[in-house]
C-alpha cells in the first residue's frame, strides 16, 4: 500500500472518530507497534526495490509524524470536551471556609450590653485619657482622699486636652465611673446608661492582674430610685448573664461615690457553692461593685440631691469572662493565640 493511500485511510478514519476511546483505537490501528498499519509500512521498506527505499522511508516517517501530531491535538480536544468521570469527586465534603469571630472579651461585653439594652439602658462611651475631675474629684474623692490609693493611677507627664476637661492632671482612667459624671454634666434625669471601656492601673501582669482591663459602668437616676431597684436590676442581670437561677448576695463595701456601697457575689458555678479553687473555697464569686449614688456626686454635677436618687455599678469584663469560660489565667485573653481564641466561643 502506498503512503498516499494510507494517509487517506487515516484522514477518513479520523473524521469518523469523536470520543477518546475512538481516538485510542485509531492510534492502535495506525501506530500500534505490532499490528499498526504505519508500522507495517515501515517494515515493508526493507523488501522494497533498493532505488525506492529512500523515498518510501521519508514518506512513511512524514506520515507517522503527521498522524502523531493530528492524534495528539484531537485527543486533547476530546479530553477537554468530556473529562473522565473520576477527575472531580463531587461527593467529597466541601472545604469549610475559615471564619473569623469576635474576641471573647468583646463577646462578653456585648452579652452584658444586650442584657442592659433589653432593660432600656443606653450605651455610651468616653475618653480613656481622663482628667482628675471626672476620674476622682467629682466622684467625691478630693485630693489627698485616701480612696485614691485604692487605685494606682498612671498619670500623663504633660497635660493632654480632654473633652470638658483641663482641670488639674490628666491620667489614664482607672475606672469607668468618670462616665457617670460626663453623662450627668450634659443630661437631666431620668438617666439609664451603661458605659463600657478600657481602664488602666499600675498593676503587675500576672494570672490575675493586667495593667489594662475592661469595665462596664452603670448608672440609673430618677425620682424615687431605691436600693430595691438596685438589687432587682442586678439580680436580673446575674440570672440573664449566667443563664441560671443563681444565688446572689450583696456584701457591704465601701466606695466614696456611693452610700451605702456593696459588692455583688454570685454563687460559684464551678462547685454550686460548696467551695473549690475557683472561688478560693468560699463558694462565692465576686462580680461587681455597686451602691446608691452619693449626694456629693449629684452636687458635683448640679443635680438636686433632695429630689433625685440613683444607683450605680461597675462590672469587670475580664473577671466575668474568666468565670464564664472557666479560664484561670487572664493573660490568655491578651496573647491572641488562635488555638485559645477559637476554643472560647459563646
Ligand atoms: N469603680 C469601681 C472599681 O473600679 C467599681 C464601682 C463600684 C463602680 C461601685 C460603681 C460603683 O459605679 O457604684 O472597682
In tens, the pLDDT along 102-134 reads 899 999 999 999 999 999 999 999 999 999 999
Q: Is any atom of ligand 1 closer than 6 Å to the C-beta of 290? A: yes
Which residue is closest in CA terms to ligand 1's atom 2?
Answer: 314
Which cell is 14 given?
A: 479520523
Structure confidence by residue, pLDDT tens digits, 47-90: 888 888 888 888 888 999 999 999 999 988 888 888 777 777 78
- pLDDT at site 151: 67
Q: How far apart are the first and last CA of the chain?
A: 82
Decide: helix, strand or coil at residue 311.
strand
Q: Which residue in 192, 181, 172, 185 sits closest to 127, CA to CA?
A: 172
Confidence category of residue 345, pLDDT binned at 50, 70, 90: low
pLDDT of residue 231: 97
The residue to mutate among 130, 152, 177, having the most atoms of ligand 1 within 8 angstroms of its beta carbon, is 177
Q: Which residue of 145, 210, 225, 289 sits with most ligand 1 atoms within 8 Å of its CB, as the best mutation to test the pocket?
A: 289
Paired with 193 in beta bridges are: 122, 219
Q: Which three cell numbers stand for residue 333?
A: 485573653
| Overall average pLDDT of the 144-165 stretch | 80
Please check the confidence at residue 222 and state whether its pLDDT lies above 70: yes
pTM higher than 0.85, yes or no?
Answer: no
- CB 289 less than 6 A from any atom of ligand 1: yes
Query: Hey, what domains does the chain have and what are their CATH numbers?
Result: 3-81 (no CATH), 104-344 (3.30.930.10)
CA 27 from centre of chain: 59
Rg of the chain on CA atoms, in Å: 41
pLDDT value, residue 108: 95
Nearest Cα residue to atom 3 of ligand 1:
175
pLDDT digits (tens, 9 = 90+) for 129-151: 999 999 999 999 988 887 777 66
- Tell me what the pLDDT averaged over the chain comes to: 90
Cα separation, 64 vs 75, whole angstroms: 16
- Cα–Cα distance, 80 to 226 (Å, whole number): 80
CA distance 127 to 198: 9
Amino acid at each position: 500500500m502506498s503512503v498516499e493511500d494510507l494517509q487517506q485511510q487515516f484522514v477518513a478514519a479520523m473524521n469518523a472518530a469523536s470520543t477518546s476511546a475512538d481516538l485510542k483505537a485509531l492510534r492502535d490501528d495506525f501506530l500500534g507497534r505490532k499490528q499498526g498499519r504505519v508500522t507495517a509500512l515501515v517494515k515493508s521498506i526493507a523488501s522494497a526495490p533498493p532505488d525506492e527505499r529512500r523515498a518510501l522511508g521519508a514518506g512513511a516517517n512524514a506520515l507517522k509524524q503527521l498522524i502523531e501530531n493530528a492524534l495528539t491535538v484531537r485527543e486533547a480536544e476530546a479530553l477537554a470536551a468530556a473529562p473522565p468521570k473520576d477527575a472531580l469527586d463531587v461527593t467529597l465534603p466541601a472545604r469549610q471556609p475559615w471564619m473569623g469571630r469576635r474576641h471573647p472579651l468583646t463577646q462578653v461585653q456585648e452579652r452584658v450590653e444586650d442584657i442592659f439594652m433589653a432593660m432600656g439602658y443606653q450605651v455610651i462611651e468616653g475618653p480613656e485619657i481622663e482628667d482628675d475631675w471626672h476620674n476622682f474629684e467629682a466622684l467625691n474623692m478630693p485630693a489627698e482622699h485616701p480612696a485614691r490609693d485604692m487605685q494606682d493611677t498612671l498619670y500623663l507627664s504633660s497635660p493632654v486636652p480632654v473633652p470638658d476637661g483641663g482641670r488639674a492632671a490628666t491620667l489614664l482612667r482607672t475606672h469607668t465611673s468618670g462616665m457617670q459624671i460626663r453623662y450627668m454634666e450634659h443630661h437631666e434625669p431620668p438617666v439609664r446608661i451603661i458605659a463600657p471601656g478600657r481602664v488602666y492601673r499600675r498593676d503587675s501582669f500576672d494570672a490575675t492582674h493586667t495593667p489594662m482591663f475592661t469595665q462596664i459602668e452603670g448608672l440609673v437616676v430618677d425620682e424615687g430610685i431605691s436600693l430595691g431597684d438596685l438589687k432587682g436590676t442586678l439580680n436580673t442581670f446575674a440570672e440573664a448573664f449566667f443563664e441560671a437561677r443563681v444565688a446572689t448576695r450583696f456584701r457591704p463595701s465601701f466606695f466614696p461615690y456611693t452610700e451605702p456601697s456593696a459588692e455583688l457575689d454570685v454563687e460559684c458555678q464551678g462547685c454550686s457553692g460548696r467551695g473549690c479553687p475557683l472561688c478560693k473555697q468560699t463558694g462565692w464569686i465576686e462580680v461587681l461593685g455597686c451602691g446608691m449614688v452619693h449626694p456629693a456626686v449629684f452636687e458635683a454635677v448640679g443635680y438636686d440631691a433632695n429630689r433625685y436618687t440613683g444607683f450605680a455599678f461597675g462590672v469587670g469584663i475580664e473577671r466575668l469572662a474568666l468565670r464564664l469560660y472557666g479560664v484561670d489565667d487572664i493573660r490568655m485573653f491578651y496573647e491572641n493565640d488562635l488555638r485559645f481564641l477559637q476554643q472560647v466561643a459563646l
